[in-house]
């Protein structure tokens, strides 16, 4: 790093901080952080750092920067929207945010992250503002914490299957269970597999 021009060294230090915190900056964000007139200047620095082996770039990914040696333990995860820990809410799919996280934080490996809104799962340690990892599957066992879609809206709750009835149980006594009626549109979107608390 001592042999790098000062500005390139500053870009590398910035990228190392961001990537270590689980954020992979876009070229536009790098340009904005350094006051570059265009993304081209940021791209030249990134390409030079990749060429020197100080960064690696995952082809075809919008935020494909990673630290060398991150290897298979680093998992890029998109934040796809919000999930209710309370009354179900619509998911705002398509948020432009991606985090690079250690896959050992999760079991099984998640396919995406959702931001929790509400406090119905606090007794399970899932708090408002947490990012929950979701493993995409339509199958879940009784007692698992799931992300479910009820009449087009998402919620995170503990699944309870009883005789011909499905209940979604909160983990906060201030909230009532959601009883899924036979005529409701219901689907399990995935199972909870861990969380990240930022800040």
Q: Which residue in the list 62, 107, 115, 120 is annotated as catalytic?
A: 120
Helix (H, G, I), strand (E, B) or coil at 14: helix
Per this entry, what is the length of the chain? 199
Distances from the Cα of 176 to the Cα of 10, 80, 85, 157, angstroms = 52, 26, 12, 11
The kind and range of the H/E element at 167 are: strand 165-169
Structure letter (DSSP) for residue 23 = B
**Strand partners of residue 100:** 76
Q: 20, 13, 147, 143: which is closest to 88 by C-alpha?
A: 147
The kind and range of the H/E element at 10 are: helix 6-20
44 is catalytic: no
157 is catalytic: yes
Q: Which residue in the list 44, 107, 115, 157 is annotated as catalytic?
A: 157
Strand 131-136 and strand 112-117: the pairing is antiparallel
**Catalytic residue positions, numbered:** 120, 157
């Amino acid at each position: 790093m001592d042999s790098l021009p000062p500005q390139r060294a500053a870009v590398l230090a910035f990228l190392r901080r961001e990537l270590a915190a689980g954020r992979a900056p876009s070229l536009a964000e790098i340009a904005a952080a350094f006051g570059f007139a265009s993304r081209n200047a940021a791209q030249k620095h990134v390409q030079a750092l990749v060429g020197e082996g100080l960064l690696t770039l995952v082809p075809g990914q919008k935020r494909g920067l990673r630290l060398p040696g991150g290897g298979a333990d680093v998992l890029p995860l998109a934040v796809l929207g919000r999930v209710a820990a309370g009354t179900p809410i619509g998911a705002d799919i398509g948020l432009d945010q991606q985090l690079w996280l250690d896959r050992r934080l999760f079991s099984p490996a998640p396919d995406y992250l959702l931001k929790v809104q509400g406090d119905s799962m606090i007794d399970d340690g899932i708090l408002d503002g947490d990012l929950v990892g979701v493993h995409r599957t339509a199958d879940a066992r009784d007692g698992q914490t799931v992300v479910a879609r009820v009449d087009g809206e998402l919620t995170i709750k503990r699944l309870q299957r009883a005789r011909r009835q499905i209940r979604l149980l909160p983990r906060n006594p201030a909230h009532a269970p959601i009883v899924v009626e036979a005529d409701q549109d219901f689907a399990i979107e995935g199972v909870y597999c861990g969380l990240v608390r930022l800040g």
